[in-house]
């Protein structure tokens, strides 16, 4: 996991590009390197060492003239080396190196052979090959400067003042000069009218276990984010079982909250005791959260309300994890999108609408929870891996007929089929109260007073006279609340201009009167007591 920057073109100032790359140093604090190729471009890499700690430095050269930089993890790299690339000679044991060799062997169509999370750039003479993983777990932006030179970067901050126009590189696509932008990831589940598959609880359990297992890959300590909700608790349970098979040391788990009595803290403590993990709780104050908002928005590169609310506790948590010497954590993103777990899904007007919304939320995850998970952890050099978004698990679970997923089918219980798949009384994965606990969104579960105080603070900072100018000041994605206005102000300070504003997609729940993204805005929540 790293920070990458590529500038494609000629007459480049290497010193300037190096200074731009240093804006990504938090993503790769372990080492830096670059290669400048005549008549091609410059590749910069800020490395977080996880696989092949001693020799996996990037950029990496292929067998001929191609060079590559990569941010992410390729989980099937050993299989690729031993099979389709068995006749290639490798320079490192790094998982990343297979990308440049696959390109040399198969050309840009090689993206489908990769099982992992990735954003990469390959330079081969005057040709460039760029790819991003299927759902955009790893961030990537691209733009052109005034001379027409192409820029690719892990974060917006490395290119925002160089390129008049830029945007997020779309997930599931690759680019070459010859082909232009091409969508390579075209699963059947993209089609909401595709035939539904039968419900298979055993397959759900087995494929998710396999997804967790491959994400335990690495040469560094691995932990789990444990909120105490269903998704993170299941991932922690599976990881704990797999870890016990190969290690005498307990799995490390981490939770964050305002105080020990917060809903998530209490639940996480129960799960940790049940799983016998090496558990650590991190607490932050509302004042500390408010103080880092400006810095947080610089890291996140978004003004989306729910992303900022949830990223604040995750930012503090990641800082503590990094200080603990852990570089990789497993996280539960994606489950709510697959199974319709958010509270507003209860109000879906039909099975078709429910199913379409799950697909839409998954396709937009790169602008929401995946952006939050990556940038709030990588702010401190911690890599987050997301088993629920494994390609095989997506193919299995998204295609399950929506009537099996809808809460109305199961007495109002969201994500019933996931809970039921792991409800094994003879060999329990989790305490029953956790397995069947109602959905609690992360920014709520750390302590209800966090969001309430955050909203009150933002309202106190924005005068009515200023807020009345919202449409004039921010014609694109005009903020509708003072909280949203406050975040937009700070975003614009760091990332001015229309192009930057257009990289952000706001997360808004459907089918309910109160469109605040908090789960407590829905009447079905156990404590629908929003103070605003």
Residue 372, CA atoms < 13 Å, CB-side half-sphere: 27
| Angle at 288 (CA atoms; ends 284, 293), nearest 5 degrees | 120
Tokens for 274, please give them: 């049940």
The set of residues, in sequence order, having a beta carbon less than 8 Å from that of 224 and lying 6+ positions away, is: 232, 235, 236, 239, 240, 251, 252, 253, 254, 277, 329, 330, 331
Distance CA 272, CA 279 (A): 6
Q: Is 132 helix (H, G, I), strand (E, B) or coil?
A: strand
CA distance 403 to 44: 49
Contact 144, 9 (CB under 8 A): no
Please give the DSSP secondary-structure letter assigned to residue 110: G
- Sequence-ordered strand ranges (E) for 300-349: 328-330
Beta bridge partners of 441: none
Tell me, rounded to whole angstroms, the distance of Cα 494 from its chain centroid: 22
Q: For CA atoms 377, 155, 62, 56, give the dihedral sign.
A: negative
Active-site hit among 2, 111, 163, 458:
2
* Contact between residue 135 and residue 362 where contact means Cβ atoms under 8 Å apart: yes
Is 163 annotated as catalytic? no
Residues annotated as catalytic are 2
């Amino acid at each position: 996991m790293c920070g990458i920057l590529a500038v494609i073109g000629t007459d480049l100032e290497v010193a300037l590009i190096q200074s731009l790359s240093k804006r990504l140093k938090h993503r790769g604090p372990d080492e830096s390197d670059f290669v400048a190729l005549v008549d091609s471009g410059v590749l910069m890499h800020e490395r977080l060492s996880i696989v092949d700690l001693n020799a996996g430095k990037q950029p990496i050269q292929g067998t001929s003239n191609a060079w590559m930089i990569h941010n992410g993890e390729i989980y099937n790299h050993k299989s690729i080396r031993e099979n389709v690339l068995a006749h290639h000679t490798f320079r490192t044991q790094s998982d990343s190196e297979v990308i440049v060799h696959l390109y040399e062997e198969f050309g840009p169509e090689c993206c489908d052979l990769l099982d992992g999370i990735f954003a990469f750039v390959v330079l081969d003479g005057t040709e460039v090959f760029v790819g991003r993983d299927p759902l955009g777990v790893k961030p990537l932006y691209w733009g052109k400067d005034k001379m027409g030179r192409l820029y690719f970067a892990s974060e917006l901050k490395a290119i925002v003042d160089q390129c008049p126009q830029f945007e997020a590189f779309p997930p599931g696509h690759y680019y070459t000069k010859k082909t232009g932008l091409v969508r390579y990831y075209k699963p059947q589940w993209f089609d909401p009218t595709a035939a539904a598959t039968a419900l298979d609880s055993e397959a759900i359990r087995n494929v998710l276990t396999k997804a967790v297992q491959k994400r335990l890959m690495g040469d560094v300590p691995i932990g789990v984010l444990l909120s105490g909700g269903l998704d993170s608790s299941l991932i922690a349970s599976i990881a704990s079982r797999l870890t016990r098979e190969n290690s005498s040391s307990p799995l490390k788990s981490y939770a964050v909250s305002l105080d020990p009595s917060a809903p998530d803290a209490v639940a996480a403590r129960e799960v940790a005791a049940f799983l016998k993990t090496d558990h650590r709780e991190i607490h932050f104050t509302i004042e500390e959260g408010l103080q880092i908002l400006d810095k947080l928005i610089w890291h996140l590169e978004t003004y989306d309300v729910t992303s900022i609310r949830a990223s604040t506790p995750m930012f503090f948590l990641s800082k503590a994890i990094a200080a603990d010497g852990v570089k990789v954590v497993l996280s539960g993103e994606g489950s709510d999108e697959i199974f319709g777990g958010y509270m507003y899904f209860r109000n879906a007007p039909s099975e078709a609408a429910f199913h379409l919304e799950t697909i839409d939320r998954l396709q937009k995850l790169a602008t929401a929870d995946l952006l939050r998970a990556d940038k709030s952890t990588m702010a401190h050099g911690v890599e987050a891996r997301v088993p629920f978004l494994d390609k095989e698990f997506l193919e299995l679970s998204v295609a399950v007929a929506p009537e099996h997923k809808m809460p109305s089918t199961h007495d109002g219980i969201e994500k019933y089929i996931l809970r039921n798949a792991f409800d094994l009384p003879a060999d329990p994965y989790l305490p029953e109260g956790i397995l069947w606990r109602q959905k609690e969104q992360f920014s709520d579960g750390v302590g209800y007073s966090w969001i309430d105080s955050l909203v009150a603070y933002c309202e106190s900072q924005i005068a009515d006279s200023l807020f009345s100018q919202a449409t004039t000041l921010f014609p694109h994605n005009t903020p509708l609340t003072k909280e949203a206005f406050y975040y937009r102000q700070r975003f614009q300070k760091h990332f001015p201009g229309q192009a930057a504003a257009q990289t952000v997609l706001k997360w808004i729940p459907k089918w309910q009167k109160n469109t605040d993204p908090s789960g407590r805005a829905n009447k079905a929540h156990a404590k629908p007591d929003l103070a605003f």
